[in-house]
Amino acid sequence: MRPARALIDLEALRHNYRLARRLCGGDGGGARALAVVKADAYGHGAVRCALALQDEADGFAVACIEEALALREAGIRAPILLLEGFFDAAELPLILQHDLWTVVHAGWQVEALERTPLPKPLHVWLKLDSGMHRVGLDAADYRDAWQRLRALPHVGGLVKMSHFARADETGCARTDEQLATFAAATAGLAGDTSLCNSPALLGWPQARADWARPGLMLYGVSPFAQPTDKSAQLRPVMTLESKIIAVRELPAGEPVGYGARFVTDAPTRIGVVAIGYADGYPQFAVNGTPVAIDGKPGRLVGRVSMDMLTVDLTDHPQAGIGSGVELWGKQVPAAEVVAHSQTSAYRLLCAVKRVPLQYAG
Ligand SMILES: *Cc1c(COP(=O)(O)O)cnc(C)c1O
């Protein structure tokens, strides 16, 4: 069997969730954290991750109703928030039937709720566009929308929320500006507040509120270019690994792989690893991207192919066919692979496919 696989450490996932909850003030402070498991839990398997967290998570967040229903079918009973809200008023009965919570981010959704009588109260998170300019109501319309929803008998809980565009940029003034916009637009409106994604939770204590929405950090990957005290406490959840399936002994001056992107400058031992960009490894990882070969630091050389990639074994005389290679995980931080590839930590994880996911913990 092809040796490529992604090991998923569910104990590390729980550790990271607990860290998120501590950071948001959840330990006795009354704050809560929705575990964001959209996009199949950033490539880690949403159902398995949600089951692993269900005893302690305050709830979950997903992008859409399809993702929420998969969790409900697996027996998850905790609250589930639809981060993109409903796409059509026709979804509202299904949202209620499955006890889902929904974001409302646009005026047409407020109107749809006014027009649609519902048999029981719906829990709504009303989103303000505080400066990211993706979705959310403008500050000028927010108060009116809040008051109209508050007046509806079939709207139950009403949480005020917004989302940061640049919280991963340490010290960036834009996050403080968004906070000020949020404070002004929601002043005097009762109810809970939710602002923080992972970078905000890890780097912006002033943004903490009643509910946090950590995603990336649950999977143990830092959103920051440089590690911080808090991001260093995260434990990687996914370890992507495979094995060496062929070895080449090459003299100086020989090209390796497509496009001859790497040319040996001395006699070189090359190992071919059974994993490639069709498995989610970044296609544009540069020569020198870190890997671990039999537990020791090594480097990628040559262009990544669809099913294979090549590593330098010259300084790994013991390694050969069958040696294990870690692409990222416990030994090679995913953030370092990101720094060597034209990608982000988010896309790196979401891109993982074809490899079997194997769970422990
Ligand atoms: C995806 C998402 C999150 C989680 O963001 P991370 O940076 O992965 O923690 C939080 N809130 C909203 C609205 C999202 O879309």
Per the domain annotation, does 5 fall within a domain? no
Residue 76 sits in the same domain as residue 205: yes
A 10 A CB-CB count for 259 gives 9
Atom of ligand 1 nearest to the CA of 103: 13
Residue 211 sits in the same domain as residue 326: no
Residue 130 identity (one-letter amino acid):
S
Question: What pLDDT score does 232 carry?
Answer: 95
Helix (H, G, I), strand (E, B) or coil at 209: coil
Give the chain's length: 361
Kind and range of the H or E run holding 250: strand 238-250
Nearest CA to 24 out of 16, 36, 33 is that of: 33
Q: Name residues whose C-beta falls within 8 Å of residue 31's C-beta, 6 or more positions apart in sequence.
A: 21, 24, 25, 208, 209, 210, 211, 212
Domain boundary among 159, 192, 223: 223
Longest dimension (CA), the chain: 78
CB-based burial label for 77 (10 Å; 0-12, 13-18, 19+): exposed
Residue 23 sits in the same domain as residue 160: yes
Per the domain annotation, does 298 fall within a domain? yes
Residue 187 sits in the same domain as residue 243: no
Note the pLDDT tens digit of each residue in 37-66: 999 999 999 999 999 999 999 999 999 999
Q: Number of structural domains, the chain?
A: 2
Per the domain annotation, does 233 fall within a domain? no
Residue 139 sits in the same domain as residue 69: yes
> Residue 63 C-alpha to ligand 1 middle, in angstroms?
10
DSSP secondary structure string for all residues of 187-231: TT--S-EE---HHHHHH-GGG--SEE---GGGGT--SSSS--TTG
> Residue 331 C-alpha to ligand 1 middle, in angstroms?
26
Note the pLDDT tens digit of each residue in 137-169: 999 999 999 999 999 999 999 999 999 999 999
Q: Name residues whose C-beta falls within 8 Å of residue 344's C-beta, 6 or more positions apart in sequence.
A: 338
Quickly state the pLDDT bin for 26 (edges 50, 70, 90). Answer: confident
Residue 76 identity (one-letter amino acid):
I
Per the domain annotation, does 3 fall within a domain? no
- Check whether 238 is labelled as a binding-site residue: no
Residue 246 sits in the same domain as residue 199: no
Residue 45 sits in the same domain as residue 172: yes
Say whether pLDDT at 28 is over 90.
no
Whole-prediction pTM value?
0.97
> Residue 273 C-alpha to ligand 1 middle, in angstroms?
33
Here the CATH number for the domain that contains residue 268 is 2.40.37.10
Per the domain annotation, does 33 fall within a domain? yes
Q: Which domain holds residue 243?
A: 238-360
- Check whether 306 is labelled as a binding-site residue: yes
Per the domain annotation, does 232 fall within a domain? no
290 in Cβ contact with 298 (< 8 Å): yes
Say whether pLDDT at 27 is over 80.
no
Residue 187 sits in the same domain as residue 96: yes
Nearest CA to 103 out of 170, 25, 194, 186 is that of: 194
Residue 225 identity (one-letter amino acid):
A
Per the domain annotation, does 67 fall within a domain? yes
Distance CA 40, CA 343 (A): 19
Domain boundary among 193, 223, 253: 223
Per the domain annotation, does 323 fall within a domain? yes
Residue 261 sits in the same domain as residue 318: yes
Quickly state the pLDDT bin for 338 (edges 50, 70, 90). Answer: very high
Residues within a 6 A CB radius of ligand 1: 36, 38, 83, 163, 197-199, 213-216, 223
Helix (H, G, I), strand (E, B) or coil at 91: helix
Atom of ligand 1 nearest to the CA of 346: 8
Nearest CA to 200 out of 232, 229, 223, 225 is that of: 223
Residue 43 sits in the same domain as residue 124: yes
Distance CA 217, CA 21 (A): 11
82 in Cβ contact with 95 (< 8 Å): yes
Here the CATH number for the domain that contains residue 189 is 3.20.20.10
Enzyme catalytic residues: 38, 258
Helix (H, G, I), strand (E, B) or coil at 132: coil
Residue 188 sits in the same domain as residue 302: no
Distances (CA, A) of 170 to 72, 173, 202, 223, 281: 37, 9, 10, 10, 28
Residue 262 sits in the same domain as residue 348: yes
> Residue 246 C-alpha to ligand 1 middle, in angstroms?
41
The pick from 213, 216, 344 for probing ligand 1's pocket by mutation, whose C-beta has the most ligand atoms within 8 angstroms, reads 213
Distance CA 331, CA 361 (A): 18
Rg (CA), the chain: 23
Quickly tell me which residue has 């040796």 as its tokens: 3
A 10 A CB-CB count for 256 gives 21
Atom of ligand 1 nearest to the CA of 168: 7
Residue range 256-267: mean pLDDT, rounded: 97
Domain boundary among 223, 256, 282: 223
